[in-house]
Amino acid sequence: MKTLQELHKIREEKRKELELRVNTKTDTREKHILVCHGTGCTSSKSPQILENFKKIIKEKNIQNVRVIKTGCFGLCAKGPIVIIRPEDTFYANCTPEDCEEIIQSHIIEGKIVERLLAKDIDGSKVKSLDELSFYKKQMRIALKNCGIINPENIDEYIAFDGYRALERVLKEMFPEEVIDIIKKSGLRGRGGAGFPTGKKWELTRQSDGIQKYVVCNADEGDPGAFMDRSILEGDPHSVLEAMAIAGYSIGANKGFIYVRAEYPIAVQRLKIAIKQAEDYGILGKNIFDTDFCFDIEIRLGAGAFVCGEETALLESIEGKRGQPRVKPPYPAQSGLWGKPTLINNVETYANITQIILKGAEWFSSIGTENSKGTKVFALGGNVNNIGLVEVPMGTTLREIVYDIGGGIPNGRDFKAAQTGGPSGGCIPKEHLDTPIDYESLKTIGSMMGSGGLIVMDDTKCMVSLAKFYLQFTVSESCGKCTPCRIGTKRMLEILEKLCSGEGEELDIYKLEKLAVNIQKSSICGLGQSAPNPVISTLKYFRDEFRQHAIAKECRALECKAMAKIAIDPEKCKGCGLCQKHCPVNAISGEGREKRTIDQEKCIKCGTCLASCPFHAIGN
C-alpha cells in the first residue's frame, strides 16, 4: 500500500528520471535503449534483442545505459524497432545480431549505425522517430504512453500523470461532474457504433440497482485489427484507471476485462498491472482513503468473434455460450447477471484519463463537429507503412493512405480501402478525400468499426473480397438467429458461385435481397452488419459483379477458375522472362519471338503476370 504522499513522491522522482524519454534536449549522461515488445516485434525476436543488449552492457560494464521494454511504436512494418533516447534514434528491422554493433558504435563510439536507420517513403534515411512522415500527421491520445513507458512498471505510468485523473475524480469531483465532463468532451464509443460515451455512463448511473458492473470489451476480433491489443500491451494502466473512474461515476465496485486468450502478452501485462495497482492500493478497498472500492477481474474469451458483441460478451462472462441477447433491454438497464452494466471498449477507456486531466474543451476541440478526439487505426494491406496510427477525427483517407501509410507498394493504384472489418464496407477511390468520422463513413456505406483499415490495390477482385469477409462472418456466426446462421451461408455460396464462374445475373439480385433482409432481421450487430461488405462492394463495384456473373471474367485475375491469361502481342517484347518463370511450361516461343500461352497447360498461377516487365500479360 502506498499513501497519496508516497505516490506523489514516486511521480515526482520518476518523472525526472524519465524526462529523457520525451525530451531530446534532456541534459543527461544516461541513455535508454527502448525495445518494442508489442506482439509483432515480439514474434520477430525483440525479447532476444532485449536480452542481448542487457548481456553486452553487462559484459562491457557500460554505465548509465538502461534497456527498457515498451509497447508498440506503431510502425510495425519496420519492426523489431529499437529507439535510443534521449536522442531519439530510430533503428528499424533490428535482429539480435545487431545489438553488438549498436552498442559498440552508437553507445560507445557515439556513431549512428547508418545501415539500421529507418528509411522514409522517399527512400531517405531518417535519424529520429519524429522525422518519419509516418508520425507527422498523427496525434497520440489513446496511444500516448505506448512506446514511451515500460508497461510492466507502474511507476513509469505514474511518472507520466498516471492515476492523477483517478485521484482528482475521487478527491474533487461528484460522479455527476465526471459524467458531465465525458459528455461535454463529445467522446463516442470506439468499438464500432459510436454511441456517446457520456450518455452511456449517465444511463447506467441512472439505472436502478445497488450492484452495477463496469466491463471493458477487449475482445478485438476484426481481421487485421490490433488497436486494443497495442493499448493493452503498451499502456494497461490507462485502461484500469479509466475503469475505476467509470466505476466511481456509475456506482460500481466491480469491473471485468473481457480479453481474448489469443492476446497472451496483453493478458500477461494486464495481470501484472492489476497486481501492481492492488499492491499500491489503487485498486481494492477505500481507494485513496475514500469510500470508493473497486476491483478488476480478467475474463478470457476463447476467440469467438461474436463475443465482441456486448450482450454475447456478457453471456460469455456469465459462463454461458457466447450468444447475443435481444436488445432492448440494453446492458445499461440489464447487463451482467441482470444488473446495470457499463460496457466500453479499450480505446474508449484509453481516452478517459486525458479528458479528465486536460478537460472536455481540449478534447472537443479535436476532430469534427460530431466526432471528437482521435481514432486509432490498424493500417494494413497494400500500403507501404503497415502499422498502428492515431489521427484526429476528420483526417482524410488520402492522408492516412498516402501521407502516413506511404502509398501503395510497387507503384500500383489504389482501388479501395476497407474500414470496419467484416462489419464495414469498402471505400473506393472517389471517396479518398472524405474526412473520416462516424457519420461520413456511414454516408458512404462503410463504418468506423473498431479501426481496422485495409488498403487494396488494383490487383484485388472485389467479389473475392466480399467472399473473404462473408467467409469470416459465416464461420463466426454464433448460429442463434436464422438470418445470420443460414442467410450469410447462402450469401457466401452465391459469392462462391460468382467467383468460380458459375454465377448468373439473377445471383446479384439474390445477394441483394438476402443482404437487405439479413441486415434488418438479425438479432445482433454481427448479423445486422454481415452483409455490409457485399452491399458496399455492390454499390461501388457492381460492374465487377456483372463481369463475374455474365461475362464470366475476373479482370483482377484473382478468381482463378475463370481467369484466361493471355499475352498481348502488341506489348510483348519477347524477352522470355514469363517463359522462364512459368512452373508448368505453358508458354512457348523462341528467341525474340512473341510468347503465347497454352490455355490447356496453364494453371492460372499468375507467376507470368508478376514477371512481365512490360505489363503485357493479362486477361
Which of the stretches 45-53, 94-102, 456-464, 514-522 binds other proteins when contact is defined by CB under 8 A? 514-522
Rounded to an integer, what distance in angstroms lies between the CA atom of residue 150 and that of residue 33? Answer: 11
Selected binder of other proteins within 8, 137, 398, 489 (CB under 8 A): 489
Does residue 475 belong to the site contacting other proteins (CB under 8 A)?
A: yes
Selected binder of other proteins within 242, 478, 549, 617 (CB under 8 A): 478
Contact 333, 321 (CB under 8 A): no
348 versus 477: smaller Cβ distance to other proteins: 477
Which of the stretches 137-145, 229-237, 430-438, 522-530 binds other proteins when contact is defined by CB under 8 A? 522-530
Give the β-pairing of 82-85 and 89-91: antiparallel
Selected binder of other proteins within 155, 167, 233, 476 (CB under 8 A): 476
Which of the stretches 13-21, 356-364, 468-476, 602-610 binds other proteins when contact is defined by CB under 8 A? 468-476
- Contacts with other proteins by CB under 8 A: the residue count is 32
Give the β-pairing of 387-392 and 31-36: unpaired
Site string for other proteins, 244-283 (x = CB under 8 A): ----------------------------------------
Does residue 480 belong to the site contacting other proteins (CB under 8 A)?
A: yes
281 versus 487: smaller Cβ distance to other proteins: 487
In angstroms, give the least distance from the CB of 424 to other proteins.
18
Question: Which of 202, 189, 215, 175 lies closest to 341, judged by CA?
Answer: 215
In angstroms, give the least distance from the CB of 523 to other proteins.
7
Selected binder of other proteins within 45, 442, 510, 560 (CB under 8 A): 510
Contacts of 63 (CB under 8 A, 6+ apart): none
Q: What is the DSSP string of 49-95?
A: HHHHHHHHHHHTT--SEEEEEE---S-GGG-S-EEEETTTEEE-S--
Rounded to an integer, what distance in angstroms lies between the CA atom of residue 283 and that of residue 60? Answer: 42
Question: Grid coordinates representing 479?
Answer: 448460429
Which of the stretches 67-75, 135-143, 416-424, 469-477 binds other proteins when contact is defined by CB under 8 A? 469-477
Does residue 319 belong to the site contacting other proteins (CB under 8 A)?
A: no
Q: How far apart are the first and last CA of the chain?
A: 71
In angstroms, give the least distance from the CB of 477 to other proteins.
4
Does residue 421 belong to the site contacting other proteins (CB under 8 A)?
A: no
Selected binder of other proteins within 370, 500, 521, 596 (CB under 8 A): 521
Which of the stretches 119-127, 151-159, 215-223, 484-492 binds other proteins when contact is defined by CB under 8 A? 484-492
Does residue 581 belong to the site contacting other proteins (CB under 8 A)?
A: no
Does residue 80 belong to the site contacting other proteins (CB under 8 A)?
A: no
Contact 292, 250 (CB under 8 A): no
Does residue 479 belong to the site contacting other proteins (CB under 8 A)?
A: yes
Q: Is 283 helix (H, G, I), strand (E, B) or coil?
A: coil
What is the Cβ-side half-sphere exposure of residue 357, based on CA atoms within 13 angstroms?
A: 17
Does residue 508 belong to the site contacting other proteins (CB under 8 A)?
A: no
CA distances from 353 to 184, 259, 478, 512, 615 (A): 14, 21, 35, 44, 53
Does residue 483 belong to the site contacting other proteins (CB under 8 A)?
A: yes
Question: Grid coordinates representing 349?
Answer: 477507456
Secondary structure of 248-259 as H, E, C letters: HHHCCCEEEEEE
Give the β-pairing of 587-588 and 617-618: unpaired
**Using only C-alpha atoms, what is the Rg of the chain?**
26
230 versus 529: smaller Cβ distance to other proteins: 529
Interface residues with other proteins (CB under 8 A)?
Answer: 304, 321, 326, 328, 474-490, 493, 510, 513-514, 517-518, 520-523, 528
